[in-house]
Structure 1
Amino acid sequence: MHGAGLVRAMQEKRPGLHFFGVGGSSLIDAGVEALVDVRELSVMGFTEVFSSLHVLRKALRKAKKEMNVRRPALVILVDFADFNLRLAKAAHGMGIPVFYYIPPKVWVWRKHRVKQLAKYVTCAAVILPFEEAYLQDNGVRAKYVGNPVSETIQPRFYQNQFSEKYSIDNDRAIIGIFPGSRKKEVALLLPIFLEAARRMQKKYSKELTFVIPLAPTMSPEDLEINGLAEYRKHLDIHLIAEDRYELMASCDAAVAASGTVTLELALLSVPMVVAYKLSPVSYGVGKLMIDLPFFSLVNLISKKEVVTELLQNQVTPGSVEIELARVLFDEDVRAMMRREYNNIKTTLGQHRPSPEAAELALHTLDMG
């Protein structure tokens, strides 16, 4: 999605550019010739990466071959470090300049990768304010261009119209369930979130409606087999494929997997609980390598606890139920979160991420 915004902004500034590479529906819609479907490459932790290595290698071989044959004027990488750092090395070896939009969060874990960025990446456009100085201090040419979330979350309507469109009673509180965009995330988190929802609906007198946005990387069946089919019997729940940001803006509270969605919810002023769960091996290895006080973007940007974080064994139906009820019913907590969300907006600043990143990419291209 963010890559598509960059492509469109580059085309606006310089019509006639041709793009090819690894991409999904958003990039294809933006005019990119897709060599590989990015949905096949979406993995999480260590064990998840190992189980998908054959897919990654096949896609990497194809991308390298096309780069070698076509010799593009610029290689643009967006996020997805495990795949893209290998492409960066290959492009560097071919003498092709590399522009990295949303480089890996080396300040979180696997910090040695900053040396790869410094060696193989010509220029990086970062989306968190503190990343610019960190990367520059480690020899990477980097610039903060703003966060693309700020330009993508533009709801066309809010709760009243949303409720009317999806036949939700206006008297009901709407609670968002955001279990992630990867199949293994959903398998680990959705059953827990749904059981917490069932307990809430049974325990509290206020009538509740639960909504789940269907991520573009998922099918309805992916959610049905991970509990949704069973819990439909117990919950007033809606699986919604469209109107993602309208859905978010209409939520009275939410429980979300850690990721970009937490920043999206914060910028839409939705009180939330953040949770994350990995396979035991991935969590064990990650625990040894990550030394951060928080894992959610909201708390990291704020540099303090604004939203409750539940990690690994803390992610239980009981804990999710308790924390979700707190952010739904405790007006002091809700007011505190919204104040801090406003501070986050100030910290992110007034930027136009896609145009600014496009300008930087074109400058990198011109410099050769």
Structure 2
Amino acid sequence: MLVAGEASGDLLAAELVQVLRQELAEAPPIFTADTQPLYTSLEPRFFGAGGPRMAEAGVELAFDLTEHSVIGLSDVIKSFFQFRRLFHQLFRLAVDREPEAIIFVDFSGFNRRLAHAVHEYVRSRRDWFHDWQPKLIQYVSPQVWASREGRAYQLARDYVLLLSIFPFEKGWYAKRVPDLRVEFVGNPIVDRCRTNSDLNRRPNPPTSDDSSTILLLPGSRAAELRRHLPVMLAALEKIREQIPNLRARMVLPNQALLEQAKTLPLPGSLEVQVGGLHEALSEATVALASTGTVTLECACLGVPTVAIYKTSAITYHLAKQLVTVKYLAMPNLLANEELFPEFIQHAATHDNLARAALELLRDGRRRAHVRARLTEIMANLGPPGASRRAAQAIARLLAPESIPA
């Protein structure tokens, strides 16, 4: 069973399923003590909740959980009853079908609570008549190292395996919850960049104003687009006062967000598309992007980026008390310096975004420095093959031990 609740998790889960199916099918035969084969391979069946990518990969979906993605405390409160209904549906699905393993992909708040509910259910019913003991696996660590690190103990209580995509996480967990099995598998973004393009093949970015391109990436959730896109559009207008011939593009992850974006007064010269992020990044000089996974994709393709994050007032004030890291954009965290200018909440104004973007557009040496540092950062994320290594770790966990005759 798999549970993925966002577009990025849907893609991650789909990539994992494709490789995991192959890994389990090719598992070596298991023999009894008298060398009689017990079975020759595993024939996995995948079901759960996710999105269209998982459905394409052959996962039997109870419903599309990616349609309900939210960000921030206020949005969660507004959707509380909806999420409670989905939560109970998935809990009943797990209990009724009793999968051998449940793989929770990202979507940490929802998935952590669901994993704990399953863990407690199994623990309370463990007896001669109930021997269901599913292996609970988390793929992509919650960012407990950024805030509320006490959650690490909850993860250790409920999960048997945590698959990490950032190299520093394994050591972080080892110091706090050494009993939790954590495996760094690499970062799937490295694979996607390698497939589509990479830093070495990417041409040098344009140096003249007339040939420059700015890319707008307002986010993958409705709330992100609602808060980020108006500021980005205002910044774009201000930038074009200085660079009238600047080419501008915007990439959105799905049609629903495109329809939402169309409710705003989009400039006719703004090229808007659904999908094709890496192709757009390969032609971009600079990007304006929401903090999150997309900033790492900008880093992977060597695009200097101005990062923005706006949320509700209640979420922002709560986060200020809890967040312990210096930066929000992952490339900045990995570099331990502000390679990508960040503008958070009240600082996320169109004037600030425009000023930072203009500095990058007009300073070729600075762009070259940023690109060089991004090359170093991406090299530290490990070689390609993250999905394969994640699948192999899961296959090892699921492999039965030899059974005596």
TM-score when normalising by structure 2: 0.83
> For 1:73-84, what aligned pairs fall within 5 Å after superposition?
73-84=100-111
Match of 1:181 in 2: 220
Greater Rg by CA: 2
> 1:242 offset after TM fit, Å?
3.5
Distance 1:102 1:36 in 2: 22
Tell me how far apart the structure 1 counterparts of residues 257 and 202 of structure 2 sit (CA, whole Å). Answer: 25
Question: What residue number does 2:144 align with?
Answer: 106
1:54 aligns with 2:81: yes
Helix, strand or coil for the counterpart of 2:104? strand
CA contact (8 A) 1:271 1:328 kept: no
Deviation at 1:136, TM superposition (A): 2.2
After TM superposition, list the pairs within 5 Å mapping 1:1-368 onto structure 2: 1-15=11-25, 16-93=43-120, 94=122, 95-139=133-177, 140-153=180-193, 154-155=195-196, 172-205=211-244, 207-216=245-254, 218-225=256-263, 227=264, 230-233=265-268, 236-366=269-399
Deviations 1:258-317 (CA, angstroms, capped at 9, x unpaired): 001111011101111111111111000000011111111001011122111111111111
Distance 1:292 1:48 in 2: 23
Aligned mates of 2:84, 2:255 — CA distance in 1? 20
RMSD: 1.9
Alignment partners' CA distance in 1, 2:364 and 2:259:
37
Partner of 2:126: none
1:321-343 deviation line (CA, Å, top 9, x unaligned): 00011111111210110111011
TM-score of the superposed pair, with normalisation by structure 1: 0.92
CA contact (8 A) 2:197 2:282 kept: no
Contact 2:360–2:367 (CA under 8 A) maintained in structure 1:
yes
* Contact 1:182–1:217 under 8 Å retained in 2: no
For residues 205-254 of structure 1, the C-alpha deviation after alignment (integer angstroms, 9 at most, x for no partner) is: 5x1111111213733211112x2xx1325xx2111113221011111110
SS of 1:213 mapped into structure 2:
strand
- Which 4+ residue blocks in structure 1 deviate beyond 4 angstroms? 156-160
- 1:303 and 1:69 map into 2 onto residues whose CA distance is 47
Give the secondary-structure state (helix, strand or coil) at the position aligned to 2:262.
helix
Distance 1:106 1:367, change over 3 A: farther
Query: Does the CA contact (< 8 Å) of 1:181 and 1:217 recur in 2?
Result: no
In structure 2, the residue corresponding to 1:219 is in which secondary structure? helix
CA distance in structure 2 between the partners assigned to 1:265 and 1:218 by the alignment: 23
Verify the 8 A CA contact 2:221 2:257 in the aligned structure 1: no
Q: Deviations over 1:101-132 (max 9, x none)?
A: 00211011122211110000000100011111
**Aligned sequence identity (%):** 29
Change (3 A) 1:217 1:19: farther
The one-letter code matched in structure 1 to 2:80 is L
Distance, in Å, in 2 between the alignment partners of 1:289 and 1:249 is 36
Q: Distance in 2 between matches of 1:247 and 1:216?
A: 15
Assess, with a 3 A threshold, how the Cα gap between structure 1 residues 217 and 17 changes in structure 2: closer, same or farther.
farther
Kindly indicate whether the alpha-carbon contact (under 8 Å) linking 1:47 and 1:281 is maintained by their aligned counterparts in 2: yes
Per-residue deviation, 1:156: 6.5
The whole-number CA distance in structure 2 between the counterparts of 1:176 and 1:159 is: 16
Q: Hey, what's the Cα distance between the residues in 2 that align with 1:250 and 1:198?
A: 20
